[in-house]
């Protein structure tokens, strides 16, 4: 269930289609393949860095919500609403960043995303 939801949210079908297209062609040169493979490690490291920021941000949200609940129990409902909203914003940011890294890299990346790297093999 979660896997199929993430595949849909991150555009996994378009990445698989790009891979199938590359596998269907026999004209990919070794230098082209080597150049594309050199782009993958920085892409992975950048994604790990962004997800570390998201993890830190969720920790800050949880700590802030806990502190606000300790200070004022009467404000539990507004704190819960704020916390839920903050978590939803972080989740939305994770999905947008994930789509960017899995796709063409149009929003946050200064270079190509995974699908764009794969599609560059067939050009």
pLDDT of residue 74: 66
- pTM for the predicted model, two decimal places: 0.78
Q: Which residues contact 42 (CB under 8 A, 6 or more apart)?
A: 111
Asked if 101 contacts 1 with a C-beta cutoff of 8 angstroms, the reply is no
- What is the total count of domains within the chain? 1
Q: What is the mean pLDDT of each run of 10 residues along the chain (123 residues)?
A: 80 86 80 86 90 94 85 76 91 89 77 85 77
pLDDT of residue 58: 93
pLDDT of residue 51: 92
Q: Which domain holds residue 102?
A: 2-122
């Amino acid at each position: 269930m979660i896997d199929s939801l993430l595949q849909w949210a991150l555009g996994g079908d378009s990445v698989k289609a790009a891979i199938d297209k590359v596998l269907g062609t026999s004209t990919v040169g070794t230098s082209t393949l080597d150049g594309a493979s050199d782009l993958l490690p920085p892409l992975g490291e950048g994604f790990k860095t962004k997800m570390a920021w998201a993890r830190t941000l969720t920790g800050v949200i949880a700590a802030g919500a806990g502190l606000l609940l300790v200070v004022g129990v009467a404000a539990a409902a507004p704190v819960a609403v704020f916390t839920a909203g903050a978590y939803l914003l972080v989740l939305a940011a994770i999905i947008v960043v994930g789509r960017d890294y899995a796709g063409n890299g149009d929003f946050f990346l200064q270079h190509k995303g995974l699908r764009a790297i794969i599609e560059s093999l067939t050009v």
